[in-house]
Amino acid sequence: MKMTFRWFGEGNDTVSLKHIKHIPGVEGIVWSLHDLAAGVEWPMDRILEVKKQAEAAGLNIDVVESVNIHEDIKLGLPTRDEYIENFKKTIKKLGEVGVKVICYNFMPVFDWTRTDLFKELEDGSTALFYEKAIVDDMDPLKLVEMISDNPDFTMPGWEPERLKHLSGLFEAYKHVSEENLWDNLKYFLEEIIPVAEENDIKMAIHPDDPPWPIFGLPRIMTCKENLRRLLQLVDSPSNGLTLCSGSLGANPENNVADMVHEFADRIPFAHIRNVKVFENGDFIETSHRSQDGTVDILEIVKAYHEVGYTGYARPDHGRHIWDEKCRPGYGLYDRGLGIMYMWGIWDSLTRMKEQETK
């Protein structure tokens, strides 16, 4: 397992590359060019700038999260071909600098949805929280007002450029069913996967967060059956998954450890985080420790160990602890603790396996 850590760039993150390098076992950053709008071709000089910064700190740039998908592609509009061509050009450039994995998602409008960015837990720490009744009953424009007013940091998936077109997007998606979305995803993959293959890059789709329809929008990356269908749309090693235990784990019916075993050779990137799910459908993000949430992180890490996982992983989200001022969901300290929890499980399993073979 190759451990990585998300970094939002100089001037856009309270976490420095030096901080990341201090965390045992971290080999690279998970990065993006967050100020660029979806659908544009990434400039090589910006890509090389990140590569230079990371390598100076002794870290690789093997994983990009995300190259965002323009809504016209998801909607299947005639203009999608222009944006797909830009995506292909970006894939080629990233391949040239050694990128191995591109994480992306196909969620309409919102990349992720929460109702409280700093909900207090019993121990006094705070974390991202989803209140089902609010999402079920609230106008999405009102929810945007509640959680997007965060001037200190960019919020991936909640960029102002995207949100200012929100009303028009909801109107456009009224005519898009889940099957339409599947067709549009297939069209996209048939175009870009050959380019990814040529450039030794694995595309890794992220599950929907949360893994069910919201605000009447279609959502399809929600469960094992749908992940299996995704992999069959274009049967290629370059068509893979970002298996996110937190996104999928918000639905207790999803057995993430079982998915690890089934899709092992098609998971180039693993997001490992925990959530606590309540009986009414609410959920809150917790520490990575299995006992603190509903998702059994121990069993998930064990599953990765059992399949001999050699892909990339990162501690996905983290609580905000020790009075840290940070981007919602991305506390340095809690993600660092999460890595050490994962390494503790991994190293114990490795030691046990070594002893069994003696």
Helix locations, the chain, DSSP H? 17-22, 44-56, 71-75, 80-96, 132-137, 140-147, 160-163, 166-173, 178-198, 224-233, 245-249, 256-263, 297-306, 332-356
CB contact at 8 A, 11 and 33:
no
Q: What is the pLDDT of residue 344?
A: 98
Torsion region of 58: left, alpha or beta (phi above 0 gives left; psi -120 to 50 gives alpha): left
Give the whole-angstrom CA distance, residue 76 versus residue 175. 11
CB contact at 8 A, 220 and 185:
yes
Report strand pairing: 202-205 vs 239-244.
Answer: parallel
Of 9-18, 19-28, 340-349, give the lowest mean pLDDT range.
9-18
Q: What is the pLDDT of residue 160?
A: 61
Give the whole-angstrom CA distance, residue 185 versus residue 203. 13
**Which CATH number fits the domain that encloses residue 328?**
3.20.20.150
| Count of domains for the chain | 1
Q: Would you please indicate which residues are annotated as catalytic (active-site) residues?
A: 206, 244, 271, 316-317, 330
Average pLDDT, the chain: 93
Q: Is the pLDDT of residue 193 over 80?
A: yes
Answer with the residue of higher pLDDT: 43 or 37: 43
Structural domain including 169 reads 2-356
Region 32-55 average pLDDT: 96
At 117, give phi and psi (nearest 5°). Answer: -85, -20
Q: What is the pLDDT of residue 171?
A: 87
DSSP 8-class letter at 40: P
Q: What is the pLDDT of residue 161?
A: 63
Classified as helix, coil or strand, 267 is coil
Give the whole-angstrom CA distance, residue 157 versus residue 159. 6
The share of the chain scoring above pLDDT 90, in percent, equals 81
Question: 320 pairs with which residues across the strands?
Answer: 126
Classified as helix, coil or strand, 291 is helix
**Angle between the N-to-C axes of helices 44-56 and 80-96, in degrees from 0 to 180, rounded to the nearest 10:** 40
CB contact at 8 A, 218 and 176:
yes
The tens digit of pLDDT for each residue in 221-262 reads 999 999 999 999 999 999 999 999 999 999 999 999 999 999
Give the whole-angstrom CA distance, residue 331 versus residue 325. 8
Nearest alpha carbon to residue 254 among 237, 235, 275, 268: 275
Q: What is the dihedral of CA 116, 121, 125, 128, to 10 degrees?
A: -30
At 5, give phi and psi (nearest 5°). Answer: -150, 135
Report strand pairing: 2-6 vs 116-120.
Answer: unpaired
The tens digit of pLDDT for each residue in 256-293 reads 999 999 999 999 999 999 999 999 999 999 999 999 99
The tens digit of pLDDT for each residue in 122-179 reads 999 999 999 999 998 877 777 776 666 555 655 666 666 666 677 788 889 998 999 9
Nearest alpha carbon to residue 119 among 134, 99, 104: 134
Q: What is the pLDDT of residue 269?
A: 98
Nearest alpha carbon to residue 13 among 55, 58, 54: 54
Give the whole-angstrom CA distance, residue 271 versus residue 297. 11
Classified as helix, coil or strand, 330 is strand
Could you tell me the pLDDT band of residue 112, with boundaries at 50, 70 and 90? Answer: confident
The total number of residues shown for the chain amounts to 358
Give the whole-angstrom CA distance, residue 293 versus residue 284. 9
**Alpha-carbon distances of 68 from 86, 206, 314, rounded to whole Å:** 11, 11, 19
What is the identity of the amino acid at 86?
N
Structure tokens at 267: 């998971």
